[in-house]
Copies of this chain bind each other. A is one copy, B any other.
Amino acid sequence: MKFELTILGSNSALPTSKRFPTAQILNVLERFFLIDCGEGTQIQLKRFRVPMSRINHIFISHLHGDHFFGLIGLISSFSLQGRINDLHIYAHSKLEKIIRFQLEILESKLSYNLIFHNIFGKEIQTLFEDEALTVESFPLRHGVMPCAGFLFKEKERPRHLIKDMLDFYQIPIKARHGIKMGDNYLTDDGDLIPNSKLTLEASKPRSYAFCTDTAYFPRIVPIINKVDLLYHEATFLKNDAKRAKSTYHSTAEQAAKIADEAKISRLLIGHFSARFHDLSGHLKEAQSVFKNTALAEDGCVFEIPLKSKK
């Protein structure tokens, strides 16, 4: 029942020898969602032992190169590996043009289907949905460049059956779905067994929000309200607030303010400017506003454990 984020790259536009450009993998119940795909993402996937064949959905926040220049290489490698499964890419429509133009001019025929989904960018949009999870995009503020944040939300799960009790009352298979949904059970002898004796409450749905690149933009607060984990860019420190504003980026303090206002549980900051070798200033600045903050450095893994609703 994993819900686990691995940071593949944490730097802003110019990579350093230690920090790759933006990319992350979210493992939700052993399905691996790739979020952004900066240059070198496929190398980081290998380094951090992510099972590449389990990536079927890739979400690209915006079309600055440090967020997608690794995509053409990953797409090509998937084909060299003989991939069969469809690959879904959620991005601004220009990305499809860029990728298809290259495949065409290089006469590359992929071994699988590449399916692009357009992010419109002006409103909240459901990009992906299955029985366990939804992924929505929402607009960030990054100057003239359309840029999307992503919200991953587990769905409410049915109650957990207590197997020993089902056996004890000899409850048939066909009745179990109803019990999971909260039904009581009437035995053949007419005894009513309350649902609370047969089930445990489901754990709380978990959630993760990804917000890069963006200026300080409080309009996102209600959208990411109370998420378990928030990644928010923190390219600069507060003494560079002017520069952050003019380049439509955030400071560590601003990232923490958003976290605080949205009452989230844990904040990760990243997308660090290449000029910072030591990131302790970012951490300290953010923690002074929002204590439960961590640096999202390459290779770090953050798990959201199962929690009861109470």
Q: Which residues of A contact B (CB under 8 A)?
A: 13-17, 20, 39-40, 42-43, 46-47, 63, 65-66, 69-70, 72-73, 76-77, 80-81, 94, 97-98, 101-102, 105-106
Contacts and interface: CB of A to CB of B under 8 A. Distances in A.
A255 to B, nearest CB: 22
Contacts of A70: 39
A46 B101 contact: no
Given A40-B43, A63-B106, 6 more contacts: A14-B81, A15-B46, A39-B43, A65-B106, A69-B76, A98-B106
B98 A102 contact: yes
Contacts of A76: 13, 65, 69
Contacts of A101: 98, 101
A42 B42 contact: no
A3 to B, nearest CB: 25
A282 B294 CA distance: 44
B20 A43 contact: yes
A72 B69 contact: yes
Contact of A105 (B20, B81, B94, B105): B94
Contacts of A73: 39, 65-66, 69
